[in-house]
Amino acid sequence: MEQGWDGPWYRVRTDRFRATFFPGAGESLDTVCNVDVEVRLTADGSRWTATVLTLAEVDRLMERWSRTGEALGGRYFWCSDGLIVREPGIASMTQVLTGLLDDGDFTEVLQRVDEE
């Protein structure tokens, strides 16, 4: 596996995919808890996306919304391409992506962004 910064993006390359994460400026890669990712599969070149959030981040957002009135006062959480994970960090999120491929659930969880 190769990984590293490529401009504002953090890329992780494995033999099965290339994941491009979009963390915030100055955000720690070990503690990132809300990040967009684009994944390109090596086998067919298809592109997939997700917004990866931790359980704690979803809770934090819903608590904030309960005070601001958003999302019916924090009574629900929704995002079209959301993937909820237990642990923060790019390494943990990469392990989840690998596990989704291993289990055959990848194409059910992430959203395809190119033509089939």
Q: Using alpha carbons only, give the angle 81, 55, 19 rounded to the nearest 5 degrees.
A: 45
pLDDT score of 1: 84
Averages of pLDDT over runs of 10 residues in the chain (116 residues) are 91 97 93 97 96 97 97 94 97 98 96 82
DSSP labels, 95-107: HHHHHHHHHT-HH
Which pTM value belongs to this model?
Answer: 0.91
Q: Cα separations (Å) of 58 from 5, 27, 42, 85, 90?
A: 26, 18, 31, 10, 17
82 near 54, Cβ under 8 Å?
no
